[in-house]
């Protein structure tokens, strides 16, 4: 059995194949959810990080010079530009893509561990990332649905003031804990738009609460965030 931590042709093949498998496993979950970075992107990030560390180890062993951690540091900081490209701000000021960006960064770290031959950390870390992206996503969604508070975006019809809307909501026994107007709160058609946090009397009552809000006089559009 060859030494898997030594830099040989077989160890290089093993590291690259491991990077493909772990990178693909992490990216599969993102790809199934149709995120900006999916299966191939995660694979490439993990493989690229792995190749960087293999090259770093080769330079250090062959030329007996240089810092064996310098290229790894460049990967960790350099992956930021790719992650930033997956983060977008929607028309309603919602931030999307943070989990994908964090996943890319974590995938790069897994690739670095594989590239230097630290298989134990790579396998444990890769499994942990997959658990966070899959099982904890379900738990997070469950907790959000059970929360008493819900953040919503609302657009009012032309001629309906915020004060009038809040009075109507109070009469319908809907309690707003906070209201924040958009930077350009008045649209071209004269509609007023704002963000608000609503507190429900019961846990997991979001659908019923959103229905009551949509039925209020003057509500042109509303959606939960």
The predicted-structure confidence for 34-91, as pLDDT tens digits, reads as follows 666 678 888 888 999 999 999 988 888 887 776 777 788 888 777 877 777 666 656 5
Q: Where are the beta strands (DSSP E) in the chain?
A: 88-89, 95-96, 149-156, 175-186, 192-199, 219-224
Is 72 or 225 the better-scoring residue by pLDDT?
72
The predicted-structure confidence for 126-144, as pLDDT tens digits, reads as follows 999 888 888 776 776 666 6
CA separation for the pair 113, 90 (Å, rounded): 35
Question: Would you say residue 152 has pLDDT above 70?
Answer: yes
| 98 closest CA partner among 16, 30, 146, 17 | 30
The predicted-structure confidence for 174-220, as pLDDT tens digits, reads as follows 888 778 776 555 555 667 788 888 877 666 567 777 888 888 888 88
The predicted-structure confidence for 4-35, as pLDDT tens digits, reads as follows 778 888 889 999 999 999 988 888 877 776 66
Predicted pLDDT of residue 145: 66
Residues facing residue 222 across a β-bridge: 154
pTM above 0.85, yes or no: no
The predicted-structure confidence for 85-128, as pLDDT tens digits, reads as follows 666 656 555 666 777 888 888 899 999 999 988 889 999 999 99
């Amino acid at each position: 059995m060859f030494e898997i931590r030594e830099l040989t042709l077989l160890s290089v093949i093993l590291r690259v194949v491991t990077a493909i498998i772990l990178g693909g496993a992490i990216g599969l979950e993102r790809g199934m959810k149709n995120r900006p970075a999916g299966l191939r992107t995660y694979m490439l990030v993990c493989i690229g990080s792995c190749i960087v560390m293999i090259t770093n180890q080769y330079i250090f062993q062959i030329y007996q010079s240089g810092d064996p951690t310098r290229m790894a540091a460049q990967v960790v900081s350099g992956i930021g530009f790719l992650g930033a490209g997956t983060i977008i701000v929607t028309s309603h000021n919602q931030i999307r893509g943070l989990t994908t960006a964090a996943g890319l960064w974590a995938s790069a770290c897994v690739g670095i561990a594989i590239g230097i031959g630290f298989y134990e950390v790579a396998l444990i870390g890769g499994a942990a990332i997959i658990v966070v992206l899959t099982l904890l996503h379900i738990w997070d969604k469950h907790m959000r649905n059970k929360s008493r508070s819900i953040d919503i975006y609302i657009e009012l019809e032309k001629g309906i003031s915020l004060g009038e809307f809040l009075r109507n909501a109070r009469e319908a026994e809907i309690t707003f804990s906070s209201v924040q107007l958009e930077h350009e709160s008045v649209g071209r058609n004269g509609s007023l738009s704002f963000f608000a946090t609503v507190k429900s009397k019961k846990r997991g009552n979001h659908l019923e609460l959103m229905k009551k809000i949509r039925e209020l006089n003057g509500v042109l559009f509303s959606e939960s965030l």
